[in-house]
Homo-oligomer: A and B are copies of this chain.
Amino acid sequence: MRHFTRLADLGPAGMQQVFDKALASKKQAPGAGLSGKLLGMVFFNPSLRTRASFEAAMLRSGGHAIVLEVGGGVWKLEDRKGAVMNSDRPEHIREAIPVLGRYVDALAVRTFAALADDDADAADPVINAFRELAGVPVISMESAREHPCQGLADLLTIRENFGTTRALPVTLVWAPHIKPLPKAVPHSFLLTAAAAGCELRIAHPPGFDLHPEVLAEARQYAAQSGGSVSVTHDPKAALASSRVVYAKSWGPASNSAPAGEAATRITAHSDWLVNGKTLAAAAQNAIFLHCLPVRRNVEVADEVLDGPHSRVIDEAENRLHVQRVLLHDLLNQKKEIRRVHIA
């Protein structure tokens, strides 16, 4: 694995190895496996868990991280090829990426979807430019198309709670919000749950389809893993006998909502608020997951987040554990697959 910015970089078998290693490393002292390693963390968007868990993963194992906030202390970055750069973005990623690659051993990147065009977002231009230009391994802290470390943490949490993920009925249920959100998290849950062999049901209002390429990729994984993927607009049907309720908001499909109507389209579905009734429609001992941050009483009611079914804090902790495994793998690759700048 040269880079990790999409589940396909691992594949279903590699994913299971990450789970096995993460479960083992949770029982051990961190060690110094990243000693002398330096991670450059580039944020185009805000973060709490991602920032803290990646930095903690490096520091816990003897490594270090440099945190760069684009448009904060760091110049705003242009990403359009061929741009005449007369805007408020004084530097191009075509310089910024290879320069940073000379200073660090790997680059972690967070770059959200632009939300204007689902196909443009699914092409994931910024993180793919990092893969092309960095000269060192690149790991995603969420990009336009996927949030793969989140997906791994989600499924690790499910495996910890149920011992296995195979044939487990799990439901991804859309939640209301005050504005359209990216689809990277639901995409990654879809991909990892399918690759883990879950019986995955997705429930969302009409017009909020996930990207067809990602759905197709998930169905391929499901075919390999013995899982399944179904989509419905009826949350009760999706939740029946489900062992996992995964709540998440995302914006309408870009080809289904006229520009400017996205926000209206979302607030029209405030009855999708995930509350005690939602949980009651699932299996009795179902667990509740959400990637966080969550808008309480807009997306999910207090009674769910503060109740006994919630595993959202364990889920967030698992970000740390899967990322430690991934960083160890990426930063201890054989030397020939990356440029060595300092020797």
Contacts and interface: CB of A to CB of B under 8 A. Distances in A.
Interface of A: 26-30, 36, 38, 40, 43, 46-49, 51-53, 55-56, 59-60, 64, 66-69, 72-75, 78, 82-86, 90-92, 94-96, 98-100, 102-104, 178, 292-298, 302, 305-306, 312-313, 316-317, 320, 341-343
A320 B103 contact: yes
Nearest to A97: B313
Contact of A69 (B73, B99, B295, B342): B73
Contacts of A86: 178, 295, 298
Given A47-B74, A316-B102, A343-B29, A91 B38 contact: no
A94 B317 CA distance: 15
A92 B294 CA distance: 8
Nearest to A30: B342
A297 B74 contact: no
A320 B343 CA distance: 13
Smallest CB-CB A-B distances: 3 pairs: A91-B293, A102-B317, A85-B295
A145 to B, nearest CB: 21
B27 A343 contact: yes
Contact of A52 (B28, B36, B66, B84): B66
Contacts of A293: 75, 90-92, 95-96
